[in-house]
Amino acid sequence: MPAMALTRDEVRHIAQLARLRLTADEEARYRVQLSAILDYAARLREVDTSSIPPTASVLPFDAPLRQDVARTSNAAPQLMANAPEAAEGMFRVPPVFE
């Protein structure tokens, strides 16, 4: 196991945050693989970036704003056509509150 080893509980926590149900086998495998990748990534910590600003976008300028004008877009029935479950023109999901 590399220096950056994740625990099984950490893997479960990440999977829960990411909304992924993992099997026990997946938990074990991702623990090893993610630990190895994070261990590799740890070399970034050795770089002195105290005076370096972060790069979030490489666009040479800020995106200009367009006029806020209404335009036609997809009709609701087209968008609903892909729904796994729909009722009365709405997406149907299991109850959130009991």
Partner 1 sequence: MTDLSSLSLLEATTRLRSGAVRSLDLTRACLDRIQRYDAAVCSFLYVAPDQALDQARRADRVLARWRIDHGFPLPPLTGIPMAVKDVLCLEGMPATAGSRILEGFYPPYTATSVQRLIEAGAIVLGKTNTDEFAMGSSTENSSYGVTHNPWDLRRVPGGSSGGSAAAVAAGMCYAALGSDTGGSIRQPAAFCGLTGLKTSYGRVSRYGLIAYGSSLDTVGGFARSAADLLPVFQAIAGHDPLDSTSLRSPVPAVEWENQGLRGVRVGVPREYFIDGMQPAVERAVRQAVDVLRSLGASIHEIRLPHTDLALPVYYLIAPAEASANLARYDGVRFGPRRSGEGLLDQYLETRGALFGPEVKRRIMLGTYALSAGYYDAYYGQAQKVRTLIKQDFDDAFRQVDLIACPVTPTTAFGIGQHGDDPLSMYLEDVFTLPANLAGVPGIAFPVGFDEDGLPIGMQLNAPSLGEAALFHAAGAYQTVTAWHKERPVL
Please give the residue ranges that form the binding site for partner 1 (CB under 8 A). 6, 11, 14-22, 26, 29-30, 33-34, 36-38, 40-41, 43-45, 47, 49, 52-60, 63-64, 66, 74, 78-79, 81-85, 91, 93-96
Whichever of 70 and 94 has its CB closer to partner 1, that residue is 94
CA neighbours within 13 Å on the CB side: how many for 42? 11
Q: What minimum distance in Å lies between the beta carbon of 53 and partner 1?
A: 6
Q: Using alpha carbons, select from 54, 47, 60, 42 the residue that is nearest to residue 6.
A: 42
Q: Which of 25, 85, 50, 73 is nearest to 11 (CA)?
A: 25
